Amino acid sequence: MASSGGKSAPIHDIPELRGRAPCFLGREEAGRALARMLEAYRGSGARVAAIPSGGVPVAAEIARELALPICAVVVSKATPSWNTEMGYGAVASGGLVRLNEASVRRLEMTAHEVQEGVQRAKAKVGRRDRKYRGEGPPPGLEGHTVILVDDGLASGFTALVAVEALRSLGAASVVLAVPTAHRDAAQKLAAQVDALYCANVRGGASFAVADAYEHWSDVDEDEAVDILQKARAAIARSRGRQDF
């Protein structure tokens, strides 16, 4: 589903950060920069949805700063059994499956092999959904504006699948917020969301999300779960109740 009226949403950026790298000390500082850009959503009833694992520290800062509930929307690549790095599609929270038919042909995969990879991805998404959610019910997104957060966009494929998953879960509108993005990916995503906020827009053939950060390291699942739990507790204290 494209942005309202079938037109691309405007890309809100920070002009003085255009083309710069690095821009942020780490993901937390990037999250605070985005929170300032998203000030209009403070206490609005919007939900913040993080793409794990790297998007979680960014989203946690946004949710705390703006006093908004936070959850995770999990996306996992579907990969052949012989190469777990080469994806030919993706599975997302809610059971959404999207295949890249060109990749399937290039990998010369049979229909059985494709479905085996999809089932592995579904199992991974289900396990990670339960881990990030804890003992609570699935997040209530229906009828709400959802601010989707990752730590950056390179190709934008993961975010595209996450946007579609949020639509299928009933989000009234989807706002994409990322600290950094390649210009082409930002333009592609702007055609699929209702608003796009990206502090640092860059171009070039050698784009890497990590280049926007002075301090960069992978975020493992346990660390991301801990960050989510602490953010939820802080938000609950500030709001006086637990949304999800």
Q: Within a 13 Å sphere around the CA of 201, how many CA atoms are in the beta-carbon half? A: 17
Read off the pLDDT band of 138 (50, 70, 90): low
pTM: 0.90
Write out pLDDT tens, residues 165-210.
999 999 999 999 999 999 999 999 999 999 999 999 999 888 999 9
Mean pLDDT of 206-215: 96
The domains found in the chain, sorted by start residue, are 4-69+141-236 (3.40.50.2020), 77-129 (no CATH)
Q: Read off the amino acid at residue 116.
A: E
Distance in angstroms (rounded) separating the CA atoms of residues 231 and 72: 12
The pLDDT score that the predictor gives to residue 84 is 79
- pLDDT of 5 above 60: no
Angle at 189 between CA 62 and CA 133, to 5 degrees: 45
With cut-offs at 50, 70 and 90, classify the pLDDT of residue 238: confident
Q: What percent of the chain has pLDDT over 90?
A: 75
CA gap 154, 208 in Å, rounded = 7
Predicted confidence (pLDDT) at residue 72 exceeds the cutoff of 90: yes
Q: Which helix (H) or strand (E) holds 125?
A: helix 111-133
The predicted structure's pLDDT at residue 94: 86
CB 180 within 8 A of CB 208: no
Residue 135 has pLDDT above 80, yes or no: no
Handedness of CA 9, 13, 15, 20 (dihedral sign): negative
Band of residue 86 on the pLDDT scale cut at 50, 70, 90: confident
Helix (H, G, I), strand (E, B) or coil at 70: strand
